Amino acid sequence: MSEIVTARVKSGVCTVTLADEERRNALSVDLVADLMAALDEAEADPSVRVIVLTNTGSVFCAGADLTERTGRAKGSDPAKAFAPSDLFARFVRSPKPYVGRIAGHAVAGGTGLVAALDISVVVDWAKMGFTEVRIGVAPAMISVLCLPKMQAADARAALLRGNRFLAPEAARLGLINAAVPQADLDREVDSIVSDLVAGGPNALAATKQLLAQVPSMDLDAAFEYTAKMSGELFRSPEGQEGMAAYLEKRPAAWIPTDT
């Protein structure tokens, strides 16, 4: 693992930390490559049930690396700058749940990164915002992730104004799940992770499929799709184990024993 992205696995949880404090965890080519590698490893590890994304320093992610985008970074090529769709889309498509432990500011692409995660908790002093228009660009690709979470009037104001707002306002807008005091961040994240590891891995993957696909289906197609999924899950070994564990009043086999 690199110095700018670290990862550790404990009790079924892989914590991936953005640690490029010098560049405020901007989405540079190097940081994104290292992050993608860490996520690939976590997703391929069957012992990892939940992936937590967090940061060191006071900034979770400052968005695009502008020195690379303008070609001012040594050896950089603006044509090869990172396209966020490759990173952001993986959170939606991954069968494993992603939790954001956001311990700092997150603006522009950083706001999109936070919104892309399944569940995000942010320290209440952190600032977020769609600041792209202030530098002459638009919050283009992150709008794919953020607009479905927001009311239309709120989205128009936030994306067009380009202003920064505190995490509690981000929670009101639907971009994050909660804004909490720094002292409560770990307790809130631990509670979420504890709930997630209690769910069956295949059940969680199926639920993520439902969240991604059902909203765009018409009624008949949605019922057909979900009926088939429900039957398969009830008949599956995981479903049978889960029901047996419930009836026998014992933990299901998939719950890490050291949690």
Whether 122 contacts 114, CB under 8 Å: yes
Q: In the annotation, is 188 catalytic?
A: no
- Set 132, 188, 232, 238: catalytic member: 132
Compute the distance between CA of residue 176 and CA of residue 191 in angstroms, rounded to an integer: 16
Q: Which residues contact 216 (CB under 8 A, 6 or more apart)?
A: none
What string of DSSP letters covers the chain? --SSEEEEEETTEEEEEE--GGGTT-B-HHHHHHHHHHHHHHHH-TT--EEEEEESSSEEE--B-HHHHTT-STT--GGGPPPTHHHHHHHHH-SS-EEEEE-SEEETHHHHHHHHSSEEEEETT-EEE-GGGGGT---HHHHHHHGGGS-HHHHHHHHHH--EEEHHHHHHHTSSSEEE-GGGHHHHHHHHHHHHHTS-HHHHHHHHHHHHHGGGS-HHHHHHHHHHHHHHHHHSHHHHHHHHHHHTTS--TTS-TT-
Q: How far is CA 121 from CA 22, 68, 175, in A?
A: 24, 29, 10
Active site residues: 132
